[in-house]
Every structure is written in C-alpha cells, then in structure tokens.
Structure 1
Amino acid sequence: MACQDQSIQVVLQALQTLYHDPQGDAKKRANEWLEEFQHSVEAWQTCHSLLTESSTPLEGRLFSAQTIRSKILYDLSQLPVEQQLPLRDSLLSSLVTTASQPGSRAVIRQLCLALSDLALQSSQWADPCDDMIKRYGQDPSTVPTLLAFLQSFAEESMNSRVALSSQYLDGIGPAFQQVLNILTLYINAPGITSDIQVAVFESFRSWIITGEMEQHLMIENPLFNALFEALPSDPLFDAAVDALCDVIHETRELVSNPQFVSLIIPRLVALRPQLEEHKEDPDRIRGYCRILCEAGECYNSVIVKHPTEMLPLVEAIAQCAAYPDLDIVPITFNFWYEVATALGRQPIEPQFKPLLDIFESLQTVIINHLHFPPDNDSQTAQERDDFRTFRHRMGDTLKDCCHVLGAPSCLRKSYDLVVAALGKPSPSWQEIEAPLFSMRSMGAQVDPNDDEILPHIMEMLPRLPDHPRIRYAAILVISRYTAWIDRHPENITFQLQYISAGFEMANEEVAAAAAQAMKFMCQDCQQHLVPFLPQLFTFTTTAGDRLDQADMVEVCEAIGYIISSMPVEDGARALQQFCEPLIQRVQSVASASTEAPKAELQKVADALERLDAFLSVVGEFDPLPSSCMATPQTVYAVLDQLIARYSHLYYISERVGSVLRRGLAFFPITALQPVLPPVLERMASTFATTHYASYLWIIGKIAGKLGASTSGAALGAAETRLVIGAFESVTTELERLLTTKQAIEIPDVMDDYAHTFMSYLTHLSDATVPSPCLSTATHMTINALACPAPETIIIALDTLATLSQRLSHPQFQPLIQPIFAQWGKHLMIILLSGITQGFPEDVLEQVRDILTRVSQCSPPEAVEAWTVEGLEKIPGNLLPQNEKQAFVSKMHEHLLAPEGDALRNAVNGLVRAARRARDRGRQSRKSLGAM
C-alpha cells in the first residue's frame, strides 16, 4: 500500500510539473516520464486509485482516464481476463462520480472511450449498448453520459487500432437498431434540451458513419426529419448540418433509386429560400452551402440522368457560388468539378441546356470574384497572398466551365468582357484585369490550333491601358499561349517588344511576369527567335543590371533554349557571345589590384549564376566543337583567381561551385583533363581554409566524371594519386573539424561529404577501398547520421550500405571487415536509436544490410552487448521494455542462424513498436490537452 501511495504521489508531482512548472526542460522530462509510466503494468492500479479517490485533482483524473483508455487499447494483454469485468465496473462507477465534478466533460469522454475499447476487444461483456442503455438511459441526468458512450462506441468500432473481439468482427449491426430506437425516443421526448439534442445528433452521426444502417432507412427515420427541423435553431444548427452532410454522404449509393431521389431532393431544394433569408449571416450560408454541395457531389450522376428534376439543386449551389464571402465560395468548387466531369465535354442534348446556362453564368460569377478589391493597396500582405491563392483556385473552376462549354466559348466571353470594358469612358483596371486573368487560367483547356478567338485576343493587346496590373495579366496571357504563337510567328515581333517593355516598368511583379513569358516563348518558339538573338544580346548587356537577378536568370534560361535549338557550331558561337561579357565581369574583379567592394562582388556572383543558367539549359554540344576544347582552361583560370582571393565569401564559393559542376557535365573528359589537377588541388586546399560544402561537392563530381570516363577500368597511377589525395585531404580536414564542432552544426558539409564518399565508392572503388583513410571516412559518414535532414540520413545510410556490399568482393573483404568491427558498437547504437526515433522508414533495407555486416564482422557476444546498450539508451516512453527484450531475443536468434529472417523481423518489429509508442504518446498529449 505504501508503494502504491508513493506511485500516486510521483504521478501527481509529474502532472503538477507538466501543467504548472514554467521550465520547459522540466515539462519535457515530466511528459517523457508520464508516457513511459503509461507502458508499465503498475499504471493499471495507480490510475484506478486516482480515479476512485474523490480528492484527485482534475489533471490527475484526466490523466488516469486517458491512461486506462490507452492501456485498454494497447496493453489489454497485461490484464488477466478475469479482471476485465471488474475493470468495467470500476469505470462505470467512475462515470457516475465524475459527472458531478468540475471539468467532467473531458474525463467522461476518456472514460467512454475506455469502456468502448474494452467492450469491443473483450468477449466478457456480452451486450454493452443494451447494458449502458439500461444503466443510464432512464434518468434524464445520466442521458448525456449514455449518449457520450454510444457516440464513442460507434467511433471506436472504426478505429483501426482496436483489435475487435470475435463477437464484433462482423461489425456492430445488431446493436444499431436498438441505439436508433433510443435516439429516436430522446429526440421526440417532451422538454428535451438543446444540449441533449446536439448529443443525439452527434451520436446519430457517428453511427451513420459506421455504415451499419440500411441506407434507405436513413431518410425514413424520424431523426432525418429532426435534422431538417433543427436547422432554424441557432444552438442546433451546426450539429444538424454536420449530421445531414454525413447522412447524404452515406446515401450516395442510392442515387439510382427513384423513390429515394423523390424523398430527399425536395427536402434539399426547400432549403434554397434560406440562402436569401440569411444572406447577411455568412455562418448560416456556409452551413446551407455545405449541405447543398455535399448533395450535389454525391448525387452528380442523378444530375446528369435527370437534369430537369435536379436543376433547382444546381441553381441553389450556383447561388452559393455567387455569394460575396470568398471563404464560402470555395465550398462549391469540387461540386463544379464533379458535375463537369460527369457531363463530359460540351454535351449537346437539349435537356442539358439549362445546366449549360448555369455554367455560362458561373463563368461570369467567377470572373467577378476575380476582381481585385478597389482598395487593394490597403490590404495586408497576408490578405493579398490569400486572395492570390484564391484566384488560382477559381482558375480551376474556370477550366471546369471550359470542359463543359468548350474553350472557344469561354474565351469569347472573357474577350467580350475586356472589349466591353475598353468601350467605357473610364473603366477600372479591375474590369480589364480579371477577364485577362481568366484567359490565362483557361489556357490548359485551349487547343493550340484554335484560330477562332485567339487571333482576336492577340490583336487586342496593343489597345490595353498601360497599367501595371493589366500589363502583368496581359504578359502572362502571352506566356500561356506561346504554343499558339509558334504557329503564328507573324505576332512574335510585337509580342517580344510587349514582353521586353514589361522590364522597363518600375514594378517587380511585371518584370517577373516578363521573365516568365520570355522563358516560355523561347521554349516554344525557339526556331523563330534565332533571328532575334542580336536584340536579345543587346538587351542582356544593357538591361541586365537594372533587372532583378531572378528575372535575369529566367531570361538567360530563355535564351539558352534558343541556343540549344541551333546547329552545334552556330550554337557554340552564340553561347560564347552571351557568356563572354559575364566572364569578363568576373575577370575584372578577380584580377583587380585592389579588393572589390561588396556591390561589385554581388554583381560577380550574379554573373556566375547567369552563366550557370545558360549552361544548365544548353546542356551540351554533341560533338563539342574543337573551338571549345580550350574553354575549360580559359574559364578556370579566371575562376581560380576569384577563389584564391574571395573563397572566404560563402556566396562566391557557392556560385563558383555551381559553375564548376555545370562545366564538369558540359565538357567531355578530354577537354577537362588539363584542369582537373589544379581544380582538385584548389578544392581540397580551399575546403581546409573555409569548410564550405561546395568544395566537397566538386571533388565528388570529379570522382564521378573520372569513374564514368574510365568505364570501370583502373586509373593511371598519377590520376589515382591525384583523385585519392584530394579525398584523403578533405577527409582528414573534416575529422579535424569535428573535434571542434558537432556534425549537426555543419549539416551541409556532412551531407556533401557523404555524397562525395558515395561517389568514390561507386565509381572508384579500386582506388578508394585500399586508402588508409577508409576507416576515417566511414566514421565521418556515421557522424552524418546525427543530422536531422532525411536526405542526409538517406545518403549516409546508402553510402554505408554500399561499403558493406563491397565485403562480398574477396579483394576488399580484409580491408573492410576490420572497419565494421571497429565501428560496430557505434553503428549499432546509432542505427537502433535512428529507426525508433527519426530515420525515414524507407531506409530499413539499408539498416538491415549494415546490421547484417556488423554482426558478421564482430564476435556474437559483442554484438549482443552492443544491442543491449543501444536499446537501453532509447527512452522507455519511445520504446517499451518488453519490445526491447523482444529485439534482443530476435538478434540472438539471428546470430545463431544468420541465413534466416530473424533480423528482418526484428527490425520491422522494432519500427512498428516505436510507431505504436509515438502514436500512443500523441494520443496521450492530445487527450491531456483537452482539459
């Protein structure tokens, strides 16, 4: 008893800390202890005592109820079968005493969940719903408790974590009619309170979702009528809306039943007047809109089969779509998509004409919603972002209109709206911009071969007012229809001028749109734009410094598409012409006698990024013209000068690294051979002084290039010394760096080192494995596993798994086996912690491979000791003790019979156990947060 009292006091103290201690670390430790305590066997009795003690504070009662619910859900096997009914009776008693205590709602919720989970898993409780109805269904004061249980019982029957006993494997159908009868009785009871009505609706909703009720009975039940009758009531409105939406959803399979349609559709259509009556109440409109759209989505096939009878429902939803509150309008979007898909493209049957008329009106409604507010400048940044996002969502609904009405018809309407606005004496810019935006949104539905309306749209562009918003929208219209422009090159001169003029406007958005349009036009109209390269060259050299860098990068990419379409010799000359001014800018700073100011250095970084953009799009010339063979030496001489002076500047190093990587991909090994020695030397020495990851990156890329060029053949002695020397240099330097820093402090370096090591192992194994730094390289890669980024963990594990696979090569086995023995303990501890606490779950195969090699390379007793030590370091709230013991047993089995599946099963079981513990912890925190 003294031990039990002590356990209670420890729990209460931990809860006091969790809820009331201002120290974050103390709260964290308390939470971890409480979660671990929940796994223990003693938690059953301790929480029972806390629940039955009247002086237990609210947080203690809530924690105890939640813990017992959690243990019933996850640990029922800890409880002898003969104790299940006494546990039930104890929980039932707690329900009675809890109802009158402060904060009882959350505790009752957990107790009802616990009872439901017990009832569904235990064969000891024969008829729980009938039992609960008899216990709590006669006294009005206990009816809320009954309804809470009935709701929980239905919800938990669908909980995948509940292991249903044999009597409930076939569902809960036998109890359904009994529950339905009692709910019907309550809803019709005289003097029923709104709280009870809401609870009835919530319980009814939960049982409906189980799918146990015969669908045709739903709309014949008095509860269905009660839901409609409850809609005028403010206290009942939300609960009634939720339940009606679920009833409608569950009856979607009855749409082929004419009797059903005749019963439910009139009830739904009768709601339409409420849209006008409550037009000043957006909350009410939202509720009615949800009901109508749920019906429209579920019954869309009925709409197509019976368009005349269903037209009022569609009209009501269209009325919702026209509502000015833009938080409500999106509720209708999925309905329009579903109906448009069901109707198909441009139906011509006469019975669909009224539906087509609605879609025509819908396009006008959506375009009206697209209008920026008159006081757009007064909006907050967040409001502007939200509205832009909303406009793009509306664009999808415009595509639905195109799907049904045909793109030419919809484009014509948008075009007519612009023309009408231009005909006014002083139209607002919003009247023109909105239909222009719609033209862009509908572009995906437009046939590039359409010559019906697009020529008129293109001819209209010169007449548009020179307002920034209009220019922005018009430029994006051009960018959307560049495939059409490719068929009509006579328009290119004006359109290119129109886009270029966008760069001249003092508006960042217009310039960004112009850059995007330039890129799309150059992609789609490559051949037609070759004659314009001289103008584009002049533009890049004169306007480059005035434009935003992101826009200029897009322009460079755009020009790259033109160059890539040219014959090799012509393309090489064009690329050289565009790149030379950029290289000269870099050289002027790299070779200057004095240090460059920051502004000039930023221009150098921009020039390097533009070089990268050209090379990334052009890709390569095949075959490379002889005139380009000396380019790597010429360009690297400039870059080497720049690195020598400014390698300490991160943004310079990153840009140089990108250009070097692109150059390695662009040029063949024959052109690169002369520069590889100085590049490797510079990369290794500069990493030693800067510790920037980009230099590691290039060393890895060179290893890949050399490995690919040798086609698997051994490198020459000089090349081997060169490439392995660079790897050993950076490995030694990283080892030194990690004596002063943690791996997690330099995640980019750790990530690129793992990639570099992987490149060496993959392409240059014969030269890499014999290196004396192999053990250090393995250790550095193991350290990378401490970084939280999934991509770093994945490449580190891939690298270690690749190294482990090299053990199967006889010439490598004597070199690699000692390394896995050396780092086996370290690996075991990290891998066990990782797969239970943070590794991506798609790395389990690599983990199993590595653990297999560790167990092969070390004595079995050592492996078992490392396993125990690694598991002990994992907190009990993240992995229960019994699961740790199970893994140790499986590992022992694996060591006795390595060829079996014991290790695979052990790892999979450990991951599942950790997932369950995390899920359990989340549920616990969620429940405790309800207080």
Structure 2
Amino acid sequence: MAGAGGSETLLRAVHELYHNPDKEVKKRAEQWFGEFQRSFEAWTSLLEVLQNSGCPTEARHLCSIGLKNKCLLDLEGLPKESVDVLRESIVSLLLAAEPLNGPIRTQLCLAFSGIAAHVPGPDWNGVGMVPWVEQRLSGGAKPLSVVRMVEIMCILAEEYGSYKPAVHPNRRRQYCKELESSSAKAFQMLTFAAQEQALLNDAKPLKCLLQAFSSWLNLGGPEKLKASCANTPLQLHNHPLVALSVNCLQSQDMEVFDMAVDVMCTLVNCTLSENVEVITPEAVELVNMLMGSALSLRPRLLQYVSDTKAGKDVIEMEDMVKSIAKFLVEISEAYIFYIAKGQSDFLVMVEAMLEVASHPDNEVSSMTFGFWYRLSKILVIGVDPDTEMKVLGEMRQPLIEMFNPAFSKLVGHLIEHVVFADDVDSWSKGDHKDFRKVRYTISDTLTDANLILGPDTTLSLILEPLQVHHSECSAGKSFDWRIAEAAYFCSKSISRSMPFDSALVYNLLCAIPTLPRQPQLLYTSCSVVGSFSSWVAGAMKKGKLPDASLLTSLLSFSSGALQDKDASSAAAIAFKHLCDSCCGLLGEFSEQLFSVYNAVITGSPGALESEDVIEVLEGVIFVAMAMDADKKQAAVQVIVQPILTPLQAMLGGSPAGNEVQALRLLEQLETVYKNVSDKQLVMQLLDHTSSIFDRALEVLGPHVECAEKVCSALKYGLKTTGTSTAQELLQHLFTNIPLRFSRYSHPCLLYLSSELVKIFGGQTQSHGWLQALVSGLVAKSHNKLMEIKNFDSRPDIVDDLFLLAGRVLTYAPAILFLEGGFQTLQLLFNCAVAGMYINHRDALLSIYAFFYLLLDTKNEYSAKALEAVLVPAGLILTKKLLAGITGAVPKAYLEDLGESLHRMLRVAKQLGLSWLHESLSCIPRTSLSDEEKQTFMVAAQEYLSNGRHRSFLQQVKEVSQICRRNDKVMRECNASLLASS
C-alpha cells in the first residue's frame, strides 16, 4: 500500500480503515495514511477526494483532517502560487452548492486558519486577511456565503495565539498583531451577518455567530468593539451584537442560550479595568444591563431547585440552569470588590450566590465556592487572595456582621450536600470517589464560613440538623445514620479553630462511642477522633477537661475500631493522632497502648493492611519518645522485639516464599528508625541490627523492595546518629555497598551512599573512605550502563547515580577534584553526556543538576580538574545541549538545557564561544538562518561580557521555537548536530 498513490489508493485505505474487520489491516491502513499525509502528493489527493461529492462522507471527513494538518504543519514548503490555489479551493468547498457537513466544514475552517497563520497580510491581495475574507464572502450568494464567513471568522478568533501552526516565531507574533488590528473590522463583519434574517432563524448559524462574537471580544476587547461603530457612536450596551446576545437569553434552543451566556460572561470581563477589578466609567450602563439580564434568569433557577426537591422531572432544564448558574457566578466574582464593600446595588448577587449554592447538583453548587473563599478573605484580612489587592481598610467588623446571615445560610446549604444519598449502597467506586472530592471542597468552604461566623457559631449550625433529628428520634422516628455522619464529617473542617473550653466539642466527642456501628458512620467517627486529637490534648493541658476519661474513651474506641475492616484505616490514623497529640499524657497508659500494639503487630498476616499497622506503630513510638529517659529505652525494646524476633527467624531459615512477610517486617523496622529521634537509642539499635540488615541484603538481595527498605532504615538511622555513627558500622558499609551493588544493581545502594556523603562529606578525615566508596560505585555504574547501551533501560540507576554525584559536588567536591578523583569525574562526565536524552524525567533532571554543579567552579583546583574534563569533550557537549534545545528532548527541559549551556560558556569563555559557533554552523540555513545564528552568538558574547544571562536564556527560547516550528525542521537540526557529535 505504501508504494501506491493517488486518490483511489487513498479511498481504498480509508475503506480498510473504517470497514475491514481485520485489526492488522486497519493498523496498516492507519500507518499508511500517516505516512501518506506527510507526502507532497497528499495535497492533490486530499483535495480530489474532498471535491468529489460522490466519495463517502467518512473519506471526506478523514481527508479534511489530513488537509487541516498539512495546512498547519507543511505549508512552509509550498510555493506562493500553490498556496493561493489551495486557499481558493478551501473557500470553494465551503461555498459548494451541496453543503458539506458541520465536522468537515470545521476542519476546512481550521485549514484556512492554518493558511492565515502562514501567509503575511500583504499577500492577501494587499488588503490583509480579514478584509480579504469580507470581500470574498460577504458579497456572495446569501445567506450561504454569510454563514460561511461567520464560521471562518469564529475559527480565526478561537485559534488566536495557537501554537499548532508550524510557523516561525516572528511570523506568529506578527499574525497575532494582524488579528488584533483587524478586530474592529471583524466586529463590523459580524454585525453585517447579524442583519441576515435567515441566519437568525437557524439555531446552528446563530450559535456560531454568538461564538464568533465572544471569541473576537476576548481577542479585541471593548475598545475594538466601540471602534467598529465609530461612524455611528454607540454605547457598548446598545451595540447590535450585544443586543442580539441579550435577546438570545430568551431562546429555547439550549446551544444558542448557552452561547449567549458565554457572550455575557465575556462582556462582564470587558467592564473591568485592565488588571484591576474596578468598573470603568463608560461601562456602567453595560454593567446595569448585564446584572439585570442575569437577575432576570433567577426565577428559572429557583423553579428548578423547587421542582427538584418536590421530586418533579427536571432533566430538560438541567443544562440551562447550569448556564444560568455560570452567568451569576461570573458576575458575582467580577464585582466582588463592590459586594465586599456592601454597595447596595450589588448585594443582591449574594442572594443569587446562595441560590446557586442551594442547587442540588454538587457540580453546580461548587461553582460558588471560589466566590465564598474570596469574599471571606477580603472581609477578614482586607486583601483579595486572587489579585493580592487591598480592598478594605481596618473597619471591617461591621461588614463581617452584615454578611453573617448569608454565611449562616451557606453553611445550611453545604451540610445538605455532604449527606449521603438514599441509594448509596448501589454506588460504584467512581461515584464514591466523586462524592469524596465534593466533600473535601465543601470542607474548605466551611472553613471559609468559619472565618466569618466564628467556630462556636459554625459548629452550632453544623450540628443543628443532628439536634433536630435527635428530637425526631425521641418522638419515635427511626435513626438516620446519614444525618449524624454528615454532621460529624463537617465538624472536622473546623477542628483546628475550636476553643479548648467548647462544650459543643466536648459533647460531640463524648457521644462518639455511643453511636451505632454503621460502617460509614464508624469510619467518619474515627476520622473525627483523629481531627480533634489536638483539641483533646490542649483541653487537658489547659485544665479544661475534668479528667482523662474522654481521652481513654476515645483511645478505647479507636483501638476497638481497628478490628472493623470498614473502619480500620481511619481507626489506625485516629490512634496515631491521639498518641501524637497526647504523647506526654499517655505515659501512665503505656501498658494498655502496648497491649494494643502487640495485638496489631503479631496479628495474623492480612488482619490489618500494612499501612494501618505502620500507623499504630508510629503512634506508640510517639508515646515512647515522650517518656523519661529511663523508661524510653525499655519502651523501644518492647516496640522492636516483635519485629526483630520473626525477622531473625526468617533470615536464619529459608526465606523462599516469605518475601511478602519479610517486606512487612522490614517496613516496620524502617518506621522505627524513621521515628525514633533519640541519638543514643538509635546508635544502640544500629549496633544491634546491623548484622540483621547485612543478612537481609544477603538473603533477600534479589528482592528489590526488601533491599530498598533495608537501605531506607539505614538512611534514617544514619541521619539521626550523624557523625557519631560507630566506625565499625561505617567500615562495614563502605566495604560492602559496592559489592552488593555489583551483584544486584539496586539503585537504593547508590542513594544510601549519597546519604553517607551528605553526612560525612564535611569531615576531611572521612574523604579517604568516601572516595573509595564513590569511585567503586561510579565505576560499576558506568560499566552497567555501558553494557546495556541504553540508559532508558535503567533510569533508576541513572537517577540515583547523579544524585550521588550531585551530593559529592555539594558536600565533598575534593574527592572528585583532587588527586585520585579525576578518573571518577571523567566517568561521571561521560555518563552524563551519554544520558542527556534519557526518557525519564527524574533521571534527566539529575543529569542536568550534575551539570549545574559541575560547571559552577568555586576554586582553582576544581577549575583545573574541570578544564581537563571539559576541553576534550566540550564541543560534543555543546552540540548535544544545542540538539536538546532544538528538539531532541521535550520542551519542558528547555530551561535546564539553557542553564547548562550558559554555565558551560561561563566556564569555557572564548573556547566555549568557538564550540557554540561551530555547533551552530552545523544547522542548515533553511532551519536557522545566518542572521538568527548571529543573533544567538551576539547574545552569548554579551552574556560573557556583562554576566546578564536572562537575555541569553531568552535567545535560547527563541532558537528553540524557531527550530521546533515543524517536524521537518526539528529533524534536520537534530540530525545535523548529532551526526557531527
């Protein structure tokens, strides 16, 4: 197939792609089309199919997509005469007597937009692109030509600023200016189209007209809209397009209505001063018109909410009400400064926001959350968190009191939204996940309300539905766990702000052990215990609680809930938080705590999730660390014994088949080292467990996760003991780590070594054994990477190798730059250059970080070593950096590449400039012109002379955009640079 051509072959390929049942045939057809689309012949074949009305619709649609892609990406290679013919062909297709369907026309309009981006203004018959469209289409057969003009104008505005067209950066900037300067003319053309009655009577063209108006408003702004009617001066609110948009708010067609709302939202932004949310004087009448239009839609919103609560069928109104909510929210957020200042004309929007917040659909009600957040912050601190502008002065309390009723109503609406639905038992995992997200955003908004209302008032409002329900239950109504669960869930959001003498909190917590053990209610109750653990600790320390009964009650409750599979995770976290917050108060209850811990740690595998066991373990460690010195050691011994005993037995026998259990035990031991903060105790632990770790690496060495846990435990232990670590352990480590790495290739051994460098790099007396350790690891890593000849196969080794290298350069550079370190430095440099395009984010960033540090010389001895490494390979490094900049690596790393290049120039100076000049000369002139190369060289020279690297990095970005403008140019640049390196 790939060897055939022409429209007939193209049609056969499309037929196979859409209709052949054989997946392999479909795949080959798709591959062929992709290759064919890049060929020069495709221009003719794609147009032939599109112009043949007898061809299947699917073929014409696929060809329209292909033509659009070619106009966006390949137009640079076409002669001007061919471009003119292509442009006329596309317009003729749009104006065809037998109209193409909407999706095909959209692709053709996008193709036209691609041509517009490539072709300079003077090449449109000397008048510019937008006037050319007017001349070509406004005088044709109406109403078809007018409708097609609107469709083209809509796409042109929507694609403004797009990076899809593969054009030179200078041309892209120029094209944006051309569109901006043509905005007034565009509004005139749309106004002309709005007089075509046939267009107004058809929903689809009308929707397109509104969409075009909205897009050009975003592009040109209100000034260009006013300029469009300069001959007959009109206020913005009287402009024909604005009037049309307002009238469309009464449309029964959902798409037209929705687009009219979009126009209204765009107009709202047009009423504000640039970068300041202040209404411009000339926009006052427009603001009044917009607010009146928005408020006139409120009855529909209220009717929908009322009908929904009454159980009526409201499905036909759903989309319309969402658009109304969007309009109301847009206005409220735009004029929030005026609302916050209490200006009477705008306060009505607060009621509107409450009505939207009461909407039963969480997606709609959550639209208001940003408004409430900003309003609360402005009222409390006087500054808008979005713009960081000062809005209110010191006298804010009267305003806070004025908004109290609104925030009280808001809390009531929010509580309704966190209550589980009646059909919760039939929910899917996705439903539960979505509901959790909604609840967390509601919690944030409750926190905002708390700022205005105060904690006691907010908690009282949260508990109000529960208190009402309690009265109902006393009268004989059955208990509804959902109401209780919602109240307890909401209470968590304000747990940190509650005063320690709050009777509401005390009663709330006292009631928890008495609640029915419904799974979801039990889970939430445990979460509440964890959230209020700091309150319990603070209340006890300040003498606000009569005794420790509440603490012991909650501890017993969370311990008991560990046995419930539905609530065990929340119970484990609650247990840990109680132990953490109240660690100084729980010493006298240590026996009970260790009893719970022993039951959990020695329980049958799978009784609790590994993460839950870790939470409990951390909790008892917190308590142990708060004990007196004489009790602390015994407590730690009690904690580690149930871990070490089975681990030693396992390592002493055959671990085959027990890797999972071994991993759990090693993870628990890692947790001990992570959380035990007493240096002396950790030194004793390391002395006791070093042989166990060594045996674990020997027996479980092939198991990557087990090795990682051993290394992580050692890392935490070494961090705590620091330079006080026993020399015998260090001797053992730096002797065995290279051997283990050579055998198993575990990157975690490299990371552990980097921790040793970080800890001991500042000690000159440690440099000898550190140099031996690092040189051994670098040599073995280099051999492994050279063996597989593909850095992408082991990015984990690359990442941790250069993390190690970076720490050496930061904490102990002497072991690389002084005698005995040059070979190691050379190997690292070679690896870094070889791995510069590795397809792994962390590994790539580690390599670039290594270059940053290496090229940041601090003294004479490092400069000499760097010169010895850099001079022989500087040209190769420069070419590879330049190849990365021009497309060999994703654009996300451009800043890192630029930083590396400018640091290389700073070190190599004139020699670096010669490398850069030679590298640039490799790039074909068709990809990067001589003038552009010279501009880049001048920027590099200026950087060396004045040290200002920002302008140089800006030129790096410019060269990158030029050379990445299309695939062909990018491939040429990379091929020329890499072939010569």
TM-score, normalised by the number of residues in structure 2: 0.77
Deviation at residue 166 of structure 1 after TM alignment: 11
Residues 519 and 460 of structure 1, relative CA distance in 2, 3 Å threshold: same
Which residue does the alignment assign to 1:437?
489
**Partner AA of 1:267 in structure 2:** S
Deviation at residue 867 of structure 1 after TM alignment: 6.8
Q: 2:176 & 2:215 partners in 1: Cα distance?
A: 22
Partner SS for 1:274: helix
Of 336, 359, 362, 1:300 maps to 336
Q: Deviations over 1:221-254 (max 9, x none)?
A: 3443433433432252232232222223333553
Which residue does the alignment assign to 2:927?
882
Of 279, 285, 289, 1:254 maps to 279
Contact 1:461–1:474 (CA under 8 A) maintained in structure 2: yes
Partner SS for 2:221: coil
Which residue does the alignment assign to 1:547?
608
Contact 1:643–1:653 (CA under 8 A) maintained in structure 2: yes
Deviation at residue 595 of structure 1 after TM alignment: 0.7
Deviation at residue 840 of structure 1 after TM alignment: 1.8
Deviation at residue 427 of structure 1 after TM alignment: 1.3
**Partner AA of 1:364 in structure 2:** G
Q: 1:864 & 1:255 partners in 2: Cα distance?
A: 53
Which residue does the alignment assign to 1:927?
none
Q: 1:562 & 1:886 partners in 2: Cα distance?
A: 70
How many residue pairs were aligned? 878
Q: 2:963 & 2:785 partners in 1: Cα distance?
A: 34
Q: Is 1:617 paired with 2:675?
A: yes
Of 687, 706, 711, 2:741 maps to 687
Q: 1:896 & 1:274 partners in 2: Cα distance?
A: 66
Which residue does the alignment assign to 2:773?
726
Partner SS for 2:195: helix
Q: Deviations over 1:504-559 (max 9, x none)?
A: 44444522222322333344334323433343233222222343221222233334
Of 727, 741, 745, 1:673 maps to 727
Q: Deviations over 1:310-330 (max 9, x none)?
A: 565544443333333333332
- Larger mean Cα displacement after TM superposition, 741-750 or 765-774: 765-774
Residues 417 and 165 of structure 1, relative CA distance in 2, 3 Å threshold: closer
Aligned pairs for 1:219-230 within 5 A: 219-230=237-248
Deviation at residue 375 of structure 1 after TM alignment: 2.9
Which structure has more relative contact order (CA 8 Å, sep 6+)? It is 1
Q: Deviations over 1:272-320 (max 9, x none)?
A: 2323556332122212222222222223344445676556554444333
Residues 493 and 99 of structure 1, relative CA distance in 2, 3 Å threshold: farther
Which residue does the alignment assign to 1:275?
301
Q: Deviations over 1:126-171 (max 9, x none)?
A: 4765554454224212001221343345446666974248985984
Residues 547 and 52 of structure 1, relative CA distance in 2, 3 Å threshold: closer
Q: Is 1:458 paired with 2:490?
A: no
**Partner AA of 1:480 in structure 2:** S
Contact 1:471–1:510 (CA under 8 A) maintained in structure 2: yes
Q: 1:516 & 1:732 partners in 2: Cα distance?
A: 45
Of 318, 324, 332, 2:354 maps to 318
Q: 1:476 & 1:737 partners in 2: Cα distance?
A: 49
Deviation at residue 667 of structure 1 after TM alignment: 1.0
Residues 744 and 30 of structure 1, relative CA distance in 2, 3 Å threshold: farther
Partner SS for 2:572: helix
Q: Is 1:232 paired with 2:251?
A: yes
Q: 2:722 & 2:875 partners in 1: Cα distance?
A: 44
Deviation at residue 184 of structure 1 after TM alignment: 4.2
Deviation at residue 916 of structure 1 after TM alignment: 5.7
Q: Deviations over 1:400-431 (max 9, x none)?
A: 33233333212012223223334414212111
Which residue does the alignment assign to 1:834?
884
Q: 2:640 & 2:366 partners in 1: Cα distance?
A: 48
Q: 1:538 & 1:97 partners in 2: Cα distance?
A: 82
Which residue does the alignment assign to 2:373?
337
**Partner AA of 1:199 in structure 2:** C
Which residue does the alignment assign to 2:444?
396
- Larger mean Cα displacement after TM superposition, 329-338 or 25-34: 25-34
User: Could you tell me the percent identity over the aligned residues?
Assistant: 17
Deviation at residue 385 of structure 1 after TM alignment: 0.8
**Partner AA of 2:251 in structure 1:** P
Deviation at residue 485 of structure 1 after TM alignment: 1.7
Contact 1:51–1:65 (CA under 8 A) maintained in structure 2: no
Q: Deviations over 1:737-768 (max 9, x none)?
A: 33542321122122112222333344443333
RMSD: 4.6
Residues 897 and 232 of structure 1, relative CA distance in 2, 3 Å threshold: closer
Residues 529 and 448 of structure 1, relative CA distance in 2, 3 Å threshold: farther
Q: Deviations over 1:824-882 (max 9, x none)?
A: 5664554344333236233135521575499789999988777777x69xxxxxxx952
Q: 1:150 & 1:33 partners in 2: Cα distance?
A: 30
Contact 1:117–1:156 (CA under 8 A) maintained in structure 2: no
Residues 882 and 258 of structure 1, relative CA distance in 2, 3 Å threshold: closer
Q: 2:357 & 2:875 partners in 1: Cα distance?
A: 64
Q: Deviations over 1:646-691 (max 9, x none)?
A: 2222222111101111111111323321211111222211112111
- Larger mean Cα displacement after TM superposition, 296-305 or 410-419: 296-305
**Partner AA of 1:687 in structure 2:** F
Q: 1:337 & 1:916 partners in 2: Cα distance?
A: 43
Contact 1:113–1:152 (CA under 8 A) maintained in structure 2: no
Contact 1:184–1:223 (CA under 8 A) maintained in structure 2: yes
Deviation at residue 914 of structure 1 after TM alignment: 3.6
Q: 2:919 & 2:89 partners in 1: Cα distance?
A: 48
Which residue does the alignment assign to 2:209?
200
Partner SS for 2:557: helix
Which residue does the alignment assign to 1:369?
417
Contact 1:98–1:107 (CA under 8 A) maintained in structure 2: yes
Aligned pairs for 1:745-824 within 5 A: 745-769=793-817, 770-771=820-821, 772-805=823-856, 810-811=860-861, 816-821=866-871, 823-824=873-874
Which residue does the alignment assign to 2:554?
498
Residues 881 and 571 of structure 1, relative CA distance in 2, 3 Å threshold: farther
Which residue does the alignment assign to 1:486?
537
Gaps of 5+ in 1: 1-5, 38-42, 873-879, 925-931
Contact 1:11–1:34 (CA under 8 A) maintained in structure 2: no
Aligned pairs for 1:597-746 within 5 A: 598-599=657-658, 601-619=659-677, 621=678, 624-625=679-680, 629-708=683-762, 710=763, 713=764, 715=766, 720=768, 722-741=769-788, 742-746=790-794
Q: 2:745 & 2:182 partners in 1: Cα distance?
A: 64
Contact 2:6–2:45 (CA under 8 A) maintained in structure 1: no
Gaps of 5+ in 2: 18-23, 53-58, 164-168, 227-233, 273-277, 305-313, 382-394, 971-981
Q: 2:928 & 2:598 partners in 1: Cα distance?
A: 67
Residues 752 and 508 of structure 1, relative CA distance in 2, 3 Å threshold: farther
Q: 1:308 & 1:550 partners in 2: Cα distance?
A: 55
Contact 2:462–2:491 (CA under 8 A) maintained in structure 1: yes
Q: 1:330 & 1:380 partners in 2: Cα distance?
A: 22
Contact 1:785–1:792 (CA under 8 A) maintained in structure 2: no
TM-score, normalised by the number of residues in structure 1: 0.81
Q: 1:166 & 1:797 partners in 2: Cα distance?
A: 35
Deviation at residue 439 of structure 1 after TM alignment: 0.8
Of 316, 320, 327, 1:284 maps to 320
Which residue does the alignment assign to 2:525?
474
- Larger mean Cα displacement after TM superposition, 193-202 or 275-284: 275-284
Contact 2:584–2:626 (CA under 8 A) maintained in structure 1: yes
Residues 158 and 120 of structure 1, relative CA distance in 2, 3 Å threshold: farther
Contact 1:669–1:705 (CA under 8 A) maintained in structure 2: yes
